[in-house]
Structure 1
Amino acid sequence: NKYVDSLIKLVDGLTNWFIRRSRRRFWEKGLSEDKKNAYETLYYVLVNMTKLFAPVAPIISEKIYQTLTDGFSVHLASWPEIPVSFKDDTLLTQVELVRNVIYLARSIRSKNNVKNRQPLTTLGVALSDKNGIPVIESFRDIIAEELNVKNVQVLDSVDSVAAVKYAPNFNEIRSRYPDRIPDIIKAVKSGKFALTANGAELEINGTKECFDEEIILVTYQAKAGQHVASEKGIIVALDLTITDELRDEGVARDIVRSIQDARRQIDCAITDTILIDIKGDVPSQWLDYICRETLSQMQELSEADMTFDLTYENGKSVRISVKK
């Protein structure tokens, strides 16, 4: 169902991108213009999103709409009319590219059992479409933060991290050019082709002909010591070397995640400041970071709303107490 698929993408973008990326804006002290804009944007999207969900999820849409607006019923509300000035296709395309880069890099972490909370040194990005390079450069800090890497490098060529392999894409050839199957397969296998801005240029019987680029399957084999993932002309390489300094930072980030979970379990509002008491093998140089990221203050606690232990592969452990 295309309608439901579009709604799912909307929710994913709202929760896994806008809300998470705006967390510090929501936590900012006072009511700055930026914080006000973040809340107003979130409210506007939520109210209009309930109207969009109403035809396919009538009950939950009604509940959310009435909670947000005190209105009579979402099913009696006018259909959303989004101002033309709100539309920015260029920004949407840029964010889609950035999120695809992030998705591919996270797939490398997942495949190699390296949690996103573990900091890494370098991410390399190569693009078949060079027009995307300024986008990666302008979103460099966001990509680094999302992937928890220290450096994001735009690679001039993928050759430094992977070997490129080409093969006939049999399904696409059969689907698009059923009368030319033998000629196309022979040309691709013999290497008599070039990928251009206009598609795939093949030399067949001494004559150059253009075909859709999808007839050629492009894969990337990581070179020794490299970890590579690719999709739709995007190639990313992630350095998975973990130093002692990076490991300590990873422990700090894991503590942050655990305290965030505890905040939810003891029913803290997003703006509530909590008290924490951490004992054990906690990297002391990261205590300020832990407090800042969890909106908490360090204090010796004789009583706590919640206490839990974290144990790590190197045998180190910490005990964390949390009080609302």
Structure 2
Amino acid sequence: MVSSPILRGGNLSIDKEGKEIQKSTRKAILPLWNAYYFFTIYANADEVKAKEISCSSDVLDMYILSKLKELKEKLTVAMDKHDIVEATTLVEEFLEILNNWYIRRSRQRFWSLKEFGCEAFDTLYTVLINLCKMVAPLAPMISEFIYRNLTGNESVHLENWPELAEIQIDNPLISKMDFVRLISSNAKAVREDNKLRNRLPLQSMMVAGEGVDKLTDFFDILKDELNVKEVKVEKNVEALAEKFLYVKTPLVGKRLSQYMKVILAASKLNQWELNADGTLAIAGQTLLKEEFEMRLVLKEGLKGQALPDNTAVIVLDTTLYPELIKEGMARDFVRAIQSLRKEKDFDVSDRIALIIKTDNEEVKQAITEYKEYIMEQVLALSFEFADKVENENSFEIGEGLVFADAKVV
């Protein structure tokens, strides 16, 4: 209820199915629980005793710690003003970043304690216990449960509001990583528009326009996140797109209705000039900043889109090369085996033996070529093709049908 339209002076319709209540659960309660559940699964499996930290050697850790401190500062202001709507919005946005960026991008570090150490566990622990303190006034029951289970302390409601004095906000890092996230979400939209599943590798992505220097240190993250082999940047956006003047006719019409015809005609002929103060000179008139937009339109034949603020464009090479198709099949196979592990209720640390059968030579070749990658991803100690598979499970890979079974070893 505290995040509902009621606190904005609006109405809230309560349906019999409780969909509005479920919506709030999806936005805040479940994301917080999922983060806690993820932490406990891997911390308990490796018997990790996590501790609070203020810094880390990993860039993703430093990013989420900076976002945590940023949340604390903004949330303090919102709560002091009794702006519950703003407070709940801030928490929801942070939980989105925590689950769908930090945890998802850091999974490998939780799986491989010996290789990566405890920094990821310590970071997530720090985030969770301080987040519980912050959301306690908004979600008292779940924050109490999580906090007590993580710390063993009496109650989150007996704790002071967090200070996080030792955590320093890295604003340049926040700016860069937020831009990386923006590029990622828009590039995924391009994939979706072109019906290219995320597990299918692509050769390259080009980003052109303002701010591309922010991406330089994060090429590896982008390549992994977007499943592309190469990331390229270009400062000159006109190498990939053309600028298009969009006149907001409702606004301009109210002020300059008698000049609308000549203004629109001049805009189509690109007879305009941007002024130093951000206004636009066109057809002997001056348009205010809010009366027009400079939009970017990709050049013909390119597959991509402009960022929402039209400061840069993203272009994907959507050519389906044979090697990329085979790698995509291998990734599809990994996804299928991971689903099989869940169906069989295997523990996250269980090592398995895989038996596979397929009559499709292209699929068989792809699985064979990427055997080591597949075994690493699904925690397989053995891997073999057979003419017959007991307790077979079937799934489609590419144009072929694959039968497989997995057993704990």
Q: Name the TM tier (shorter chain).
A: 0.7 to 0.9
2:65 matched residue in structure 1: none
Distance 1:296 1:4 in 2: 43
- Is the CA contact (8 Å cut-off) linking 1:116 and 1:147 kept in structure 2? yes
Residue 353 of structure 2: aligned partner: 275
Q: Deviations over 1:34-75 (max 9, x none)?
A: 421111001111112222232232222222222222232222
Kept in 1, the 8 Å contact 2:199–2:227? The answer is yes
**Which residue does the alignment assign to 1:80?**
162
- Contact (CA 8 Å) 1:194, 1:202: kept in 2 or not? yes
Q: Unmatched 5+ residue regions in structure 2?
A: 1-84
The TM-score with structure 2 as length reference comes to 0.67
Give the alignment's Cα RMSD to 1 decimal. 3.1
SS at match of 1:241: coil
- Whose helix fraction is larger, Structure 1's or Structure 2's? 2
2:117 maps to a residue whose letter is K
Match of residue 57, structure 1, among 130, 134, 139: 139
Deviation at 1:238, TM superposition (A): 0.9
> Aligned pair in 2 of structure 1 residues 77, 151: CA closer, same or farther (>3 Å)?
same
Match of 1:215 in 2: 292
Question: Structure 1 vs Structure 2: percent identity of aligned residues?
Answer: 31
Contact 1:51 1:79 in 2 (8 A): yes
Please list every run of 5 or more consecutive structure 1 residues that lacks an aligned counterpart in the other structure.
none
User: How many Å separate the matches in 1 of 2:340 and 2:397?
Assistant: 19
C-alpha separation in 2, matches of 1:11 and 1:305:
43
Distance 1:162-1:203 versus aligned 2 partners, 3 A rule: closer
Q: Give yes or no for contact 1:305–1:322 (8 Å, CA) kept in 2.
A: no
1:220-252 Cα offsets, whole Å, 9 max, x none, are: 14512x212112213101111112211110011
TM-score by length of 1: 0.83
Contact 2:237–2:312 (8 Å) recurs in 1: no
Aligned-residue offset at 1:277: 2.9
For residues 123 and 230 of structure 2, the distance between their equivalents in structure 1, rounded to whole angstroms, comes to 31
Equivalent residue number for residue 369 of structure 2:
285
Larger displacement relative to structure 2 (68-77 or 139-148):
68-77
Change (3 A) 1:268 1:20: farther
Corresponding residue for residue 14 of structure 1: 98
Select 2:230's aligned residue among 142, 151, 158: 151
Determine whether 1:257 maps to 2:335.
yes
Aligned to 2:306: 230
**CA displacement 1:186-228 (0-9 Å, x = unmatched):** 56455343457853442563x8x6842772241414512x212
Which structure shows the bigger proportion of residues in strand conformation?
Answer: 1
Q: SS at the partner of 1:55? A: coil
Alpha carbons of 1:178 and 1:47: their partners in 2 closer, same or farther (altered >3 Å)? farther
1:298 is aligned, of 373, 382, 391, to 382
Cα 1:160/1:277, change in 2 over 3 Å: farther
Give 3-state SS (helix, strand or coil) of 1:22's partner.
Answer: helix
Between 1 and 2, higher relative CO (CA 8 Å, sep ≥ 6) is seen in 1
* Residues 140-183 of structure 1: per-residue CA shift (max 9 Å, x gap): 12111110011111134344444432221346x46xx9645766
Cα contact 1:260–1:294 (8 A) shared by 2: yes
* 8 Å contact kept, 2:243–2:294: no
